Amino acid sequence: MIRHILRAYPTLLRVGLAELIAYRTEFLIWIFTTTMPFVNMALWTAVAADGPVGRFGAREFVTYFLGTFVTRIITGSWVVWELTMDIRQGALGARLLRPLHPLISYSAQHLAAVPLRALIVTPLLFLLSWLLGQHLNFTDPARLAILFAAFAGAWWLFFFTMVIIGTLALFVDSALSIFDLWLGIHSILSGYLVPLELMPPWVARIAQHLPFRYIMGYPVETLVGLNDIHSALIDLGIQWLYVAGFGLAALSLWRLGIKRFAAFGG
Amino acid sequence: MMALPRYLNILRAQMRISATTAMQYRFDFVLKGILALFWLAVSLVPLLVVFSRRPMLAGWTFPESLVVLGWFSLLKSILDGGVTPSLTSVVEGVRSGAFDFVLLKPADSQFLVSTARFDPWRILDLLGAVAIIVYAFGRLGRAPAPLHILIALALLFVSIAILYSFWILVVCASFWAVRVDNLTYLFGSLFDVGRWPVDVFRSAVLRVIFTAVFPIALMTTYPARALLGSLTTQTLGAVFLGGALIIASSRLVWLRAIRAYTSASS
């Protein structure tokens, strides 16, 4: 089974990349629609003009929100829309006929976009490292390794969250509304709109333990050097525990729901 | 002017159809209404966090910024309820070819496509926005002068007309380049800039862009200033002149574009 998947995966990745290149303009426009980090950057640098907020001065805000943009672009995917559409329109049937778990082909299709996404944000990464200057040693191999693992973890956590919500479309009609709700909560509790440490302490404390932060706030903090190596490592462990938990949940929910899909068609 | 009663009749019929359609999805109506109010609350979070740290933001106090945010939400609810649904369906129609049937009808095509669909549940959103503005004036401890309300409403009218004209231009673009639906997302994400007073943008270039090129400042900051009683009459004159120009040119572009339209199948 595993060997089977390993053999199919590179091909699936190539197909995913080809699809992406076919729709390159769309892909670029999607990336340009991510303006929220920059709007927030403008807001907070205006605030910091009268003096720093906590340990955030103008420069910290600029790097933080550049970091949220980079993280959003690299770790983002759109599987929830694809999954709900496939379920509603019945295209899932074709995927089920293939001798491969649909979640695996979905994951390959979306993973294929990651190198291109990373390529697009590379100029911003150079800008970031220049802005951070001596504050952060980008070449420290330990931090680089943790950062890489944190991005990977964030990608999978986001992917599994989307799969879980998308699979709900097999049970209820309003899966996309649930995702909308999730996005709203996520934007507050993940550190996407506001760095978590600037939130009221009790919110920050709760958010520290919820999965949202491990999709956005934690990779950003690691990228712009707001945390030390020690706590970054502990958070990495928690993040991957969440990934494992969400992955299991996604698979079991899928198994439960897919029986209902048969009932739709039959 | 003989045509006016006829067009009012058409408008009434189109609105009735939209309302009946919406009534078929009662659960959806409630769900979307709740989601709209939820997003309104989410949009308040950055503002609350900023003002928990600072008494002033770029010369604006908390209640004054709330007026801007409230006005932004008001405008957005009208746009999303009355303008966007119709015009997204034209873009779809151009792609599928259904737009041809609109052209065959014995009424002005721009009028027909612009009134094709309304989203009545946006009313809840609108009420939420009004509540925010009322609350803000409660905090200020005064009510806006009747004249100032009139000016703000006039500005609202001009803003909607401008946004509508932009939309018409996007639709015209779809006659040539069929896939423009993500252009609409780009539009939406640029619109988000209007949440905060334009003075937040410290770079003069950005301020000019958001006032003259993509006049989002004119749509939210200026009406808020008008309500607060700090808008000069000269600015008002310039706004009306600029608005009239944009509206006239979009009508001209539509008339030219419709002549160049070739159906999806030809």
Closest in A34, A181, A199 to B49, CB measured: A199
| Distances, alpha carbon B139 to alpha carbons B66, B134, B200, B228, in Å | 10, 9, 22, 13
| Distances, alpha carbon A240 to alpha carbons A62, A139, A146, A161, in Å | 28, 24, 12, 14
User: Residues of chain B with pLDDT > 90: what percent?
Assistant: 7
How many other C-beta atoms lie within 10 A of the C-beta of residue B7?
14
d(CA A258, CA B1): 60
**Which H or E run includes B126?**
helix B122-140
Tokens 């919110």 locate to: A203
* Cβ–Cβ below 8 Å for A35 and B54: no
Question: What's at A191, amino acid-wise?
Answer: G
> Of A54, A34, A20, which Cα lies nearest the Cα of A196?
A54
Distance from the Cα of B2 to chain A's closest Cα (Å) equals 44
pLDDT digits over A67-113, tens only?
Answer: 999 999 999 888 888 888 888 888 888 888 888 888 888 888 888 88
Chain A positions touching B52 (Cβ under 8 A) are 200
pLDDT digits over B176-235, tens only?
Answer: 766 666 677 777 777 888 888 888 887 778 778 887 777 788 888 888 888 888 777 777
| Distances, alpha carbon B108 to alpha carbons A70, A91, B84, B103, B176, in Å | 47, 39, 19, 8, 21
d(CA B110, CA B84): 14
- Whether this model's ipTM surpasses 0.90 comes out as no
Q: Does A208 touch chain B (CB under 8 A)?
A: no
What does pTM read for this prediction?
Answer: 0.84
**Which H or E run includes B109?**
helix B109-114
**Minimum CA–CA partner of B179 in chain A:** A26
Q: What tokens does A185 get?
A: 């909560």
Distance from the Cα of B106 to chain A's closest Cα (Å) equals 35
* Cβ–Cβ below 8 Å for B200 and A49: no
CB neighbours of B17 closer than 8 A, spacing ≥ 6? Answer: none
* Cβ–Cβ below 8 Å for B50 and A174: no
**Minimum CA–CA partner of A46 in chain B:** B200
Q: What tokens does A65 get?
A: 């929100």
How many other C-beta atoms lie within 10 A of the C-beta of residue B243?
21
Closest in A25, A45, A193 to B46, CB measured: A193
Residue B83 DSSP label:
I
- Look at residue A53 in the predicted model and tell me its pLDDT: 86
CB neighbours of B218 closer than 8 A, spacing ≥ 6? Answer: B155, B158, B159, B162, B211, B239, B242
Question: What's at A96, amino acid-wise?
Answer: L
DSSP per-residue letters across A1-37:
-HHHHHHHHHHHHHHHHHHHHHTHHHHHHHHHT--HH
Chain A positions touching B45 (Cβ under 8 A) are 188, 193-194
Distance from the Cα of A166 to chain B's closest Cα (Å) equals 18
Closest in B57, B186, B190 to A47, CB measured: B57
pLDDT digits over B138-193, tens only?
Answer: 998 888 888 888 888 888 888 888 888 888 887 777 777 666 666 777 777 778 88
> Of B212, B220, B228, B230, which Cα lies nearest the Cα of B193?
B220
Q: Among B53, B60, B207, which would you mutate to test the A interface (most chain A Cβ atoms within 10 Å of its Cβ)?
A: B53
How many other C-beta atoms lie within 10 A of the C-beta of residue B82?
20
Q: Does A203 touch chain B (CB under 8 A)?
A: no
Q: Does A11 touch chain B (CB under 8 A)?
A: no
| Distances, alpha carbon B5 to alpha carbons B8, B16, B117, in Å | 5, 16, 20
pLDDT digits over B106-141, tens only?
Answer: 877 777 777 777 787 788 888 999 999 999 999 988
Q: Mark the ranges of chain A whose per-residue pLDDT is less than 70.
A: 134-138, 262-266
